[in-house]
Chain A
């Protein structure tokens, strides 16, 4: 590599990293507790504890659950029901003053699927973990915050690529994993920056790219609504708004008939951004490990209960679906979470050492510039 080329890549690496470092440090620090949000919720007693009951206790049907939710929060309407694998007797309910209310103003709680008893989920509505989540997702700034973080993610990816290019000239005379400890602090941290940076490269790229995809989720959902939904709900465009919804009782059966071999993941009630004004949308996911992250919505007319459509998934919704586990690291048990946290801390070290190396190098360059200028 010519020295001019090296200098050019070096400038790219310096500036892309410097601009995104503050944001990435924030993301890496807030991301750390989020990896363990499940465990932290249990530890703080924020996770809802369902009563022990015989395994064959009958479960309420969906309409009875809707009524239980409405009794719990009178004056509000249903937005979503969510179903989790690890809590088969609980249903996550999300309600708000109107169906179209933005997600951050909604109230999330759990219903016991057998008794209809409502259990609060404090960490889903506020508190420390919510602050971590909001900082991590949009810095409390909504869509502009998300897009800014997406842009920082792109800079991070550029910094990784340019750093990898620079790895070659820096390591040409050194054996892999050499850390020179006895020369100077700067050399030690340069070697560590190079070593840790290059071994965590793949993980950091994957988490970075999937983070950018997740940050653009609002736009992807809007695109999906425009593309897939608008066409399907066109016949309903002039229909009056619904005053009464048909009972939700049989939604699962109806969705299962339309999309066999799939499991319900969540139900979007009419008027939310995952449904239409006139439809229930039951989001089904596949029953294999890989396809469990991919959603197929079944649109069900909310007054006749006829299936309007099984919505086809555009490729970018699949990318969004697969991005989630690959960003969260929640798909390989506790050892994976620990590895995820380790790699996250290692990334913090790469970011910190990068800033340190830049500061030291600037200090070293300054007197040289002065002496060069002094004769003039």
Chain B
């Protein structure tokens, strides 16, 4: 069972971190303006950047 568990985290480590950033980004701007807004741009910017990088990268 052990190698499977290691496998799970190897695959889901990065997506989990990105998911946490997205969630924090979605929540942050609900709490205030200014810095909170900036935090939400960062949190939601991370998934957007990863997706666009994969899409536009050549070779």
Contact = CB atoms under 8 A, between A and B. Distances in A.
B44 A339 contact: yes
A291 to B, nearest CB: 10
Contact of A200 (B33, B36, B51): B51
Q: Is the interface of B mostly helix, strand, loop or mixed?
A: helix
A198 B15 contact: yes
A167 B11 contact: yes
A203 B47 contact: yes
B48 A339 contact: yes
Interface string B1-19: 0000001100111110011
Given A167-B15, A339-B44, A192 B55 contact: yes
Nearest to A335: B41
A185 interface: no
A199 B55 contact: no
A333 B40 CA distance: 10
B33 to A, nearest CB: 7
A196 B40 CA distance: 19
A333 B8 contact: no
A342 B37 contact: no
A176 B51 CA distance: 12
Interface string A152-191: 0000000000000001100110001101011000000001
Contacts of B19: 201-202
A316 interface: no
The interface residues of chain A, by DSSP majority, are classed as helix
Interface centre among B11, B32, B37, B45 (most CB of A within 10 A): B11
Among B7, B26, B32, B40, find the residue whose CB has the most chain A CB atoms closer than 10 A.
B26
Given A199-B47, A200-B51, A176 B13 contact: yes
B48 A176 contact: no
A346 interface: yes
A289 B15 contact: no
**Which bucket holds chain B's interface residue count?**
35 or more
B29 A332 contact: yes
A349 B40 CA distance: 23
Interface residues of A, number: 37
A290 interface: yes
Contacts of B28: 332
B6 to A, nearest CB: 11
A202 B55 CA distance: 19
B50 A336 contact: no
Nearest to B49: A199
Interface in A287-312: 289-290, 293
A206 interface: yes
A326 B30 CA distance: 9
Given A192-B55, A200-B47, A339-B48, A176 B30 contact: no
Contacts of A332: 28-29, 37, 40-41
A290 B28 CA distance: 10
A195 interface: yes
A325 B53 contact: no
Contacts of A15: none
Smallest CB-CB A-B distances: 10 pairs: A332-B29, A202-B22, A176-B14, A199-B47, A196-B51, A339-B44, A202-B19, A195-B54, A198-B15, A335-B41
25 contacts: A167-B12, A168-B7, A168-B12, A172-B7, A177-B50, A177-B53, A182-B59, A195-B50, A198-B15, A199-B18, A199-B50, A201-B22, A203-B22, A206-B26, A289-B30, A289-B32, A289-B36, A293-B30, A326-B26, A332-B41, A333-B33, A339-B44, A339-B48, A346-B52, A349-B55
Given A203-B47, A336-B40, 11 more contacts: A191-B54, A200-B47, A201-B22, A202-B18, A202-B26, A202-B47, A322-B30, A331-B30, A336-B41, A343-B48, A346-B51
Interface of A: 167-168, 171-172, 176-177, 179, 181-182, 191-192, 195-196, 198-203, 206, 289-290, 293, 322, 325-326, 331-333, 335-336, 339-340, 342-343, 346, 349
